[in-house]
Amino acid sequence: MDETEFNALAESALARLEQALDGCEAELDYELQPGGVLEIAFADGSKIVVNRHAAAREIWVAARSGGFHFRPEGGRWIGTRDGAELFEVLSRLASAQAGARVELA
């Protein structure tokens, strides 16, 4: 996969995440910054940062509980450590940091 294809896939995933966050009822705020960095801020002051890493062809997630890397496979973003899907992991992480159920499907 070349960088252009990766960037298109990553942009699509970030746009999907933004759409899911728009419909979220939990107390959180988010901002997409230049370069494909999405910051999600929670009421307790914690953050989740989601960004594309073109050199590795991965989406990286930094959360209170740690860091996670995801690669595109078969139309989904799959965790390099445990095979978990990006949006499932983000839902779990956001729920933990928001103190309420967050579903980012």
Over residues 55-81, the mean pLDDT reads 96
104 within domain boundaries: no
pLDDT digits (tens, 9 = 90+) for 13-59: 999 999 999 888 888 999 998 888 999 999 999 999 999 999 999 99
In sequence order, the β-bridge partners of residue 40 are: 30, 48
Say yes or no to pLDDT of 105 above 80.
Answer: no
The CATH number that applies at residue 84 is 3.30.920.10
Helix axes 86-98, 3-22, angle to 10 degrees: 40
**And the tokens for 62?**
């930094």
CA angle 99, 28, 60 (to 5 degrees): 90
Number of domains, the chain: 1
Please tell me the distance from the alpha carbon of residue 83 to that of residue 5, in angstroms, as a whole number. Answer: 22
26 within domain boundaries: yes
In the prediction, which pLDDT does 53 show? 94
Domain of 18 in residue numbering reads as: 3-98
